[in-house]
Amino acid sequence: LDIAPGQSGRLLERISGSAKEPRKGRGRKAAGPPQPLLRGLRVVADRLAFSAENRARLGESLETAFREGEGVAEVQVVDGPLLRFSQRLECCGRSFEPPTPLTFSFNHPQGACPECGGFGNTLNLDESLIIPNPRLTLAQGAVEPWTRPRYRRHFGKQLQEAAEREGLDIHRPWEALPRKQKGMVLEGSKALLGVFPFFERLKRKKYKVWVRVFIRRYQTLQRCASCGATRLRPEAMWVRLGGETIAGLCAMPVEKLREYFQAPPLGPEQHERARDILKQIRDRLEFLHEVGLDYLTLDRETRTLSGGEHQRINLANQLGAHLTGTLYILDEPTIGLHPRDNARLIHILKGLVERGNTLLVVEHDRDVIDQADHIVDLGPGAGEQGGEVVFAGPRGELPSCPASATAKYLTGARRVTPRRPRERAGANGRVLTLLGASENNLKEVDLRVPLGKLVAVTGVSGSGKSTLVHDTLFPALARILHDSKGPIGRFREIHGFEQLSAAVLLDQSPIGKSPRSNPITYLKGYDSIRRLFAETATARGLGYGPGHFSFNSAGGRCESCAGSGFQKIEMHFMADLYIRCADCEGKRFKPQALEVRYKGLSIHEVLTLTVEEASLFFDDVPSIVSRLLVLRDVGLGYLRIGQPVNTLSGGEAQRLKIAGHLASKPPRDVLYLMDEPTTGLHFQDVERLLEVLLRLVALGNTVVVIEHNLDVFRAADWVVDLGPEGGDAGGRIVVEGPPAEVARCSDSRTGAFLRAYLEKHPAA
């Protein structure tokens, strides 16, 4: 059929046989014809022989065909194929909306997976939490939620009825039940409301807080079944570049991604249009390569990165800025870095200097100090004994400064040689063994931890140290020893845990958010201070007891700030802001309470003393001074005893936790796990910290530290070195044993640096 201009309506009317009037004008669809009748109908817009003279006619005919075909046109070549063209994005019979950058963003509703909201995981019921001990029988309470007082009687009857009517064996351990009977318990039967239907029924009452809390106890974050953890909706996965989806590209290590974008699968025209975008991609990947993060994938969650990886990503951002004439201030950029990675860091820092920038670096690392052009050494001590510039000048002149403690350690005049306790509880060959650890990049790692020892876990950044210790070993022990409900990294089995009384993770997470909490309250020494003030003549005359010197209860505290010394201003979409209380001027107490003095100081003035000062002030009160000396031993002698804990750095918070365990006289057979406890410590403080850790070991405990400090390697009883590299090239134990044995291993990156260090700084 040939179509004359303006006749599409009459044509459709003739085809359908409808007597209704067609739409006026061009109308693409007649009012009358039923849609199924028109499905698959082809209307000829033009017939022509292609030639130069017919080029304009061909264009007009194609426009007509696209218009009348609602974006679709077909060309039938005589004695040739039928060619189908579309103005829309179509493939395999499906139409797609034109993609935009937001289509590929999991942070925007347009691109995020509707099931998980762009997080890549969803909260689902976890059978291991519902049935935490598969060795129990159903009669003994294998199904944990059914043992709660609210449900125990009801489900006890249902289980008994299912046993009588349906043959459910309630006296057989869960792990030994046939699959059919397990399914009966989980999915339900005529006599028994199953576990999953039970929770579905509970969800109808999620408007109640206790129901939400109850359900959450048995849920864990699991990989989203809808998007497969890509975090994107299906439409984003339909777009491919050289056969790769954006999720596939983001799952590639940076090293492979660099190779991919050196010669991307694009035609000449596409390559030209994407030239600027490709340059930006290549530059950013090159920056990640320069800072030694070739093994990372772009879809890696930032919360899973180690401290060293965070530091280097921040440096990569600065490299990408291409700034000149800028002052950079870096606070310990070597945190989390292996000695091998320090060389890369120094190369990057020097590159920033060569661009005309100035770098001010706060550091304790020997390598960085040695490479500095100018050194400013503060001291001579910490806290009130410091605050002076001991030395300022070129690196070469530092050794000649007699007042500098740093100079003594750098020249070897002093060494980190912690005193070991004379008496140590015997380890007796006891071992904790974790077999088949395979979380993240770990490759079926078998970890042996000698008990009653100081164990250092080492390896280059990204080798799997945190995954092995934080994500697998500790959660597994916490589940067994403390009935923890947290997620556990994949492993096969664990042995030797029955020799432990507890497992404690001393990490760098904040201790608390309230300004009322401080070092002396954390160590439970403030009660003794309050009693001392309450026993003074002034306090007795005013009728004050210990409660009047508490900032946690009404009486003597300032009620405007509730004893915190600060007033909180809620910023809603930002972090809360704390400002000094205008009524008490940050002193926490009412004027009457501040009139009471002990040895000439008010309660506020006592709280402003440093640990060093307070240990002298309370030298005649053993219950207080013993706790303060522990703080001094872990290198916190400069802190004020009333300093709010929410102002402490991560390293200070971690050492305060260590002090808390020492002050409370810990039981024996505790496994302590720590992540870089030497963060922020000077050589002198490292020595003190090692003495504290060795004291914990001497009490019959085991200390496992993730570390990069060579002084800690040398002081350790046992070293476990992971690697040999980061990412996919790591995840294996390269060598384990005493420090001297690790130093002899030619395959170990740690061994090479430890060997050189021991030669330069032999043990005393």
Which parts of 564-649 fold into alpha helices (H)?
591-594, 603-607, 611-617, 622-633
Q: What is the pLDDT of residue 425?
A: 57
Alpha-carbon distance of 99 to 582, in angstroms, equals: 55
Which segment, 177-181, 348-352, 684-688, is predicted with the most confidence on average?
Answer: 177-181
Alpha-carbon distance of 515 to 576, in angstroms, equals: 12
- Answer with the residue of higher pLDDT: 651 or 697: 697
What's the whole-number mean pLDDT along residues 331-353? 86
Alpha-carbon distance of 182 to 212, in angstroms, equals: 26
pLDDT band at 92 (very low <50, low <70, confident <90, very high): confident
Q: Two tokens at 185?
A: 């318990």
Q: Is 524 left (phi over 0), alpha (psi -120 to 50) or beta?
A: left
- Answer with the residue of higher pLDDT: 611 or 3: 611
Which element (helix H / strand E) includes 89? strand 89-91
Residue 253's Cβ-side half-sphere holds a number of Cα atoms within 13 Å equal to 14
Four-point Cα dihedral 104, 106, 108, 109, nearest 10? 100
538 to 173, 533, 558, 584, 611: CA distances (angstroms)? 67, 9, 19, 21, 26
Alpha-carbon distance of 648 to 643, in angstroms, equals: 8
Give the chain's end-to-end CA distance (angstroms, integer). Answer: 102
Q: Two tokens at 118?
A: 């762009």
What's the whole-number mean pLDDT along residues 104-122? 94
Q: What is the pLDDT of residue 26?
A: 43
Alpha-carbon distance of 616 to 625, in angstroms, equals: 8
Q: What is the pLDDT of residue 508?
A: 76
Alpha-carbon distance of 367 to 235, in angstroms, equals: 50
CA-wise closest residue to 159 among 149, 147, 482: 147
Helices and strands, counts by H and E, the chain: 31, 23
- Find the angle CA(189)-CA(195)-CA(200) to the nearest 5 degrees: 100
Is pLDDT of 13 > 50?
no
Alpha-carbon distance of 349 to 343, in angstroms, equals: 10
Alpha-carbon distance of 744 to 102, in angstroms, equals: 54
Q: What is the pLDDT of residue 292?
A: 81
Options 3.30.70.100, 3.40.50.300, 3.30.1380.10, 3.40.50.720; CATH of 313-411: 3.40.50.300
Options 3.40.50.300, 3.30.70.520, 3.30.70.260, 2.60.120.260; CATH of 432-510+667-760: 3.40.50.300
What's the whole-number mean pLDDT along residues 310-318? 81
Say if 121-223 and 313-411 have the same CATH topology: no
CATH number listed for the domain at residues 519-647: 1.20.1580.10
Alpha-carbon distance of 155 to 139, in angstroms, equals: 10
Q: What is the pLDDT of residue 40?
A: 63
Q: Two tokens at 312?
A: 């280097």
CA-wise closest residue to 222 among 115, 109, 297: 115
- The identity of residue 121, as a single letter, is N
Q: What is the pLDDT of residue 716?
A: 95
Is pLDDT of 525 > 70?
yes
Lowest mean pLDDT among 64-68, 286-290, 313-317, 355-359: 313-317
Question: Which fold is adopted by the domain 121-223?
Answer: Helicase, Ruva Protein; domain 3 (1.10.8)
Q: What is the pLDDT of residue 27?
A: 42
Q: What is the pLDDT of residue 78?
A: 85
Q: In 224-290, where do the E strands start and end? A: none
Helix (H, G, I), strand (E, B) or coil at 543: coil
Percent of the chain with pLDDT over 70: 93
Q: Is 66 left (phi over 0), alpha (psi -120 to 50) or beta?
A: alpha
What's the whole-number mean pLDDT along residues 33-45? 62
Q: What is the pLDDT of residue 573?
A: 67
**Are 601 and 614 spatial neighbours (Cβ–Cβ below 8 Å)?**
no
C-beta neighbour count of 664 within 10 angstroms: 12
Alpha-carbon distance of 138 to 144, in angstroms, equals: 10
Sheet (strand 732-737) strand order: 502-506, 670-675, 702-706, 454-459, 718-723, 732-737
Q: What is the pLDDT of residue 44?
A: 87
Q: What is the pLDDT of residue 763?
A: 63
CA-wise closest residue to 130 among 211, 212, 196, 181: 196
Q: Which long-range contacts (CB under 8 A, 24 or more apart) does 568-574 make?
A: none
Q: In terms of residues, how long is the chain?
A: 764
Helix axes 275-290, 254-262, angle to 10 degrees: 150
Backbone angles phi, psi at 184, to 5 degrees: -60, -40
The model's pLDDT over 420-471, given as tens digits with 9 standing for 90+, comes to 776 665 567 899 999 999 998 899 999 999 999 999 999 988 889 989 999 9
Q: Are strands 732-737 and 718-723 parallel, antiparallel or unpaired?
A: antiparallel
Alpha-carbon distance of 94 to 382, in angstroms, equals: 70
Q: Two tokens at 298?
A: 């772009």
Q: What is the pLDDT of residue 319?
A: 76
Q: What is the pLDDT of residue 148?
A: 92
CA-wise closest residue to 382 among 629, 152, 208, 613: 613
Map out the domains of the chain as residue ranges: 8-95, 121-223, 313-411, 432-510+667-760, 519-647
The model's pLDDT over 621-650, given as tens digits with 9 standing for 90+, comes to 999 999 999 998 888 888 999 999 888 877
Q: What is the pLDDT of residue 616?
A: 93
Q: To which residue do tokens 């496994």 refer?
A: 671
Q: CB-based contacts of 706: which residues, under 8 Å, 6+ apart?
A: 456, 457, 458, 465, 466, 469, 470, 674, 675, 676
Which segment, 43-47, 246-250, 328-332, is predicted with the most confidence on average?
Answer: 246-250
The pTM for the full model equals 0.76
Backbone angles phi, psi at 200, to 5 degrees: -65, -40
The string of DSSP codes covering 227-244 is TTT--B-HHHHT--BTTB
- Answer with the residue of higher pLDDT: 473 or 513: 473
Lowest mean pLDDT among 286-290, 338-342, 509-513, 703-707: 509-513
Is pLDDT of 2 > 50?
no
Alpha-carbon distance of 229 to 245, in angstroms, equals: 14
C-beta neighbour count of 390 within 10 angstroms: 19
Q: To which residue do tokens 């849609």 refer?
A: 35
What's the whole-number mean pLDDT along residues 152-173? 94
